[in-house]
Structure formats: structure tokens, C-alpha cells
Amino acid sequence: MSDPAFDVVIPSVGRPSLGALLDALRREGVSRVIVVDDRADAGAPLQAPGARVVRGPARGPAAARNAGWRAARAPWIAFLDDDVVPPSGWRARLHADLAALDPDVAASQGRVRVPLPAGRRPTDWERNVAGLEHATWATADMAFRRGALAAVGGFDERFPRAYREDSDLGLRLLAAGWRIARGERVVEHPVPTADRWVSVRKQAGNADDVLMRALHGRGWRERADAPPGRLRAHLATAAAGALAAGAALAGRRALAAAAAAGWAAGTGDLAWRRIVPGPRTRDEVATMLATSAALPFAAAAWWAAGHATLRRRLARPAPERLEAVLLDRDGTLVVDVPYNGDPALVRPMPGAREALDRLRAAGVPMAVVSNQSGIARGLLTHEQVDAVNRRVEALLGPIGPWLVCPHRPGDGCACRKPAPGLVLRAAQALGVAPERCAVVGDIGADVDAARAAGARAVLVPTPRTRREEVRAAPEVAADLQGAVRLLLGDAA
């Protein structure tokens, strides 16, 4: 089989099931695999034999998938959840699915099979997971055209949970004129273990449904083929329970009794609907009774929280085209001459002028963020640094604001990369949000500064770039021109 036209991207928080998935991909001969280590408290590197591991931002699956596809190089990005298992022949079927697509198709959705226990009825949790078999645009196995992701800005990181971020992306792709197809490949999704309160925690998705309606309008469920759910019934049941408690405290016994009867009826109906199709064991019935009493209140609380935080969530940047590029100086724009204070020694990096001209032609503002510890060390003056910077612009054309940190590594300042200070100040100077900026640099400190500020990061390695910095970078380009092509959404 020819070289794959796709990279596999797997966001993971280190679940044990990741090993089985990677083993299956190795058996399939899939060699280009990116695992996004999205653990918030990651200490030791995530063990992912045979895969390239990149650090995720730990802001949820949407942000992790964005880090993954931006680190990929192939024209197609095949997303897999870290708890699925591709059967024998999956790679060949994915190739066939992609080869059959027209140019206006943005994505190919795989089919998900959830094995349920034989000999008994499935539990409520097992039925919940089995719903993936009929879910539209589920990213358990979803391959996207890289150009389509770039065109719409990828996943919307305002969705912090593994819920609705796939529906949101699908609706934005359709609105942009793309189509989404269903493929023939299949993955198996075993039912993960869960405690009895999992259904109550899942009600957090009601907050994301509030955001979906704000972004896509009243009819978003029909367009996304999303089930209507029971929110109205939950709200009515929770309201009856709250009224019963309030009336009892106020001494209004008749009202309290009527409201309590309404709450009991709503809770009983919910429990009965969940018990009847299940195994009806003592433990399952007890779980359904306990969670059915709590579930309407959890749903109502998350729905209210969604409305309370909606203004703040909408104020965060939506996935749109890049608004600014922040560039490191030494090793990125010009050849690195340590502690250079002589404008005559300035030599542009190959292709730097052409890369900056492309950004200017695209109307993308720029700024420079540069550590210059030679000032604090007494090896340079501010005036010498300014003279070198003017020479850089004389050779490469006007760039924009120059943000310089004069401190030494041990000074404890907030501006020296990898701290985010320079990136934040540059974004403020350009009048854009840090999340809509990209930082291009040649070492890990540039990448870490971008991440700390919430910006996108592209590493352009030079001989002084350490191998571990290259492996950890979310996106890597061979040179500055390649980085600009990547940022402007050119096809890989």
C-alpha cells in the first residue's frame, strides 16, 4: 500500500485503553500517529510507543484536537478517541472511504460498534454509550480534510467537554459549503467502567446546549440530527421540587404537598423510563431511583449556569482566521549571532523576506517578541538592540511593534520567554486577543510562551533546537516560509 494520505490524531488523558488502540494501529501498519497528551497535571511523558506525542493545552477535547491536527502534515486527519479499537482491515477501509470522496466533502465519518453484554438487557450507562452507534459526526472515528479544518478554524474551544464540539464543527462546515459523508469502516467502542453517578455528571452538557442555540439558532438540533432530550421535563420536575421545599419552609402545606406530588410524579416517570429497558437488578434499580431524583436538579443547574456564563463564553474568540503573527528574532527572522549589537552582522534567514511579504499580502499584522538578556548582562545597550532591530526591518521590510525583554534568566521577570509577558504585550499592542495570535520561533521557550498566553505556536527548528523541543512542539515547519503556509491554511 502506498504512503498514507492521512495522519491519525488521538487526544488522550492517559486512559489505559490507549495502549490497546496503539497496538491495533501498529498491527494495521499505521505509522503516522500523533497522541495529544492533554493531562493537566502531566509529570512524566505519556507512554505511547510508536506514536509522536505532543503536549496539549489541557483545556478539553476541542483544544486537544486542534493541537493535534495543527501538528499533523497529511491532507487528511483521522481522529480517534483513545478508547476505541480498530479491527483488522480498518486502515484499508479508511483509504477506500477517503479515495471515494468528492473535493467538496470535508469529512468522512466512520461507523461505531458498541459491544453490549449477551444474555441480559443493557444497563442505563451501557445504553448511553451505545448511542454512539447512531450519533451524527461523532469524533470517535472521524476523518477531516485538513484544508476544511483550516478554512473554519478547527474545533471551537469554547466547548470544554466531549459534548457538542463535534456537532458545532459539523454545522460550521455545512454552513461554509462543505459536505460530510459516512464511510464504511468500523471501530469498536467498548463500554468504559463508570460509577453510578455518571448520568448526573453528564448533565453538564446542558450548558453546552445553551451555547449551541446561541451560536446556531433555534433549529440547531434538527440540522445536527441531535435528539431533543428531556430538558423541559427536567426543568419542570426541578421547579416542582424547589417549590415544594420553599412552600414547606413558608408553612404553606397545601402548596407544598401539591408541588411535592408534581416532583414525585416527574421523578417517578423518569425512573420508570430508565428502569424498564434495563436489567432490573437490585443495584440497577437502586441506581436509577437515586440518580433520577438528582438528575433533574443537575440538569436545571447546568442549564442555568450555561445562561449565566453565556455572555462570557461568547466574548471568547470563535475559531476564525489568524489575526496576528508574533515572531522571534534570532534564529527565526535573522541568523543568530549571540549578543549581537552590530547592525552589520545582521543576515536574514533564508526565505524570511518572502514569508513576511506573504503575511503582509494577506493583511496579517506582525510583531517581534525577543529575549535580549545581553542588556542585563552588560554586553549590549538598549540603543544597540534598537539599531540591530532597525537593520532587520531595513532588510525584511516593516514588521510592527518590537517587544524586547532585557532581563537575564534568573531575574524572575514576567516577560522573558517562556513566560507569556512578551506575547501578551504584543497582542495588546496589536489590539487582538492572544488566542488569535500565532508565535513562530526556533526553540522551546518560544513554544512555551505561546502556550502560556493561549496563543498558537509553530516551531521552526535550527541546529540549536533540541530534539525534545521538536518532539514536544504542537506544530513544526521546516522554515519560516513553511510556517507561514501552515498559518495561512495552505494544504499540507
User: Tens digit of pLDDT for each residue in 73-129?
Assistant: 788 999 999 999 999 999 999 999 999 999 899 999 999 999 999 999 999 999 999
- Span 340-348, average pLDDT: 97
Active site residue 328: yes
- Residue 492, pLDDT > 60, answer no
Question: How much of the chain exceeds pLDDT 70, in percent?
Answer: 97
Who contacts 332 (Cβ-Cβ below 8 Å, separation ≥6)?
A: 349, 440, 441, 442, 446, 460, 480
Count other C-beta atoms under 10 Å from residue 142's C-beta. 22
What pLDDT, on the 0 to 100 scale, is given for residue 137?
Answer: 96
Mean pLDDT of 464-483: 91
What pLDDT score does 317 carry? 66
For residue 309, the 8-state DSSP code is T
- Choose between 103 and 246: higher pLDDT: 246
Overall residue count recorded for the chain in this entry: 492
pLDDT in tens, 391-419: 999 999 999 999 999 999 989 898 999 99
3-state secondary structure of 334: strand
Give the chain's mean pLDDT. 92
Q: Assess whether pLDDT exceeds 80 at residue 227.
A: yes
More confident residue, 386 or 46: 386
The radius of gyration of the chain's CA atoms, rounded to the nearest angstrom, is 26
Strand segments (E) across 170-317: 179-188
Which of 7, 97, 156, 328 is the catalytic position?
328
| Domains in the chain, CATH or no CATH each | 6-194 (3.90.550.10), 195-316 (no CATH), 324-487 (3.40.50.1000)
pLDDT of res. 483: 92
Average pLDDT over residues 188-207: 96
Give the model's pLDDT for residue 434: 84
Write down the residue that cell numbers 552588560 correspond to: 378
Q: Can you tell me whether residue 44 is helix, strand or coil? A: coil
Output the pLDDT for position 447. Answer: 93
- Residue 398, all three cell numbers: 516593516
Cβ(213)–Cβ(223) under 8 Å? no
pLDDT tens digits, residue range 33-66? 999 998 887 667 788 999 988 888 888 999 899 8
pLDDT above 80 (res 318) = no
- Whether 331 has a pLDDT exceeding 80, the answer reads yes
pLDDT-wise least confident of 57-61, 185-189, 438-442: 57-61
Please count the CA atoms within 13 angstroms of the CA of 248 that sit on its side-chain side.
12
Between residues 132 and 323, the one the model is more confident about: 132
Residue 491 has pLDDT above 80, yes or no: no
Give the pLDDT confidence score for residue 42 in this predicted structure: 62
Beta bridge partners of 404: 370
Question: Catalytic site residue 330?
Answer: yes
The mean per-residue pLDDT over the stretch 185-198 comes to 96
Predicted local confidence at residue 43, as pLDDT: 67
Asked if the model's pLDDT at residue 490 lies above 50, the reply is: no
Q: What is the pLDDT of residue 406?
A: 96
Q: Rounded to an integer, what distance in angstroms lies between the CA atom of residue 156 and that of residue 165?
A: 7
0.85 exceeded by pTM:
no
- Write the DSSP string, 207-233: HHHHHHHHHH-TTHHHHHT----SHHH
Residue type, 422: L
* 321: confidence class by pLDDT, cuts 50, 70, 90: low
Burial class (CB in 10 A: 0-12, 13-18, 19+), 399: buried
Residue tagged active-site, from 83, 209, 330, 448: 330
Report how far residue 37's alpha carbon sits from residue 67's, in angstroms, rounded to the nearest whole number.
10
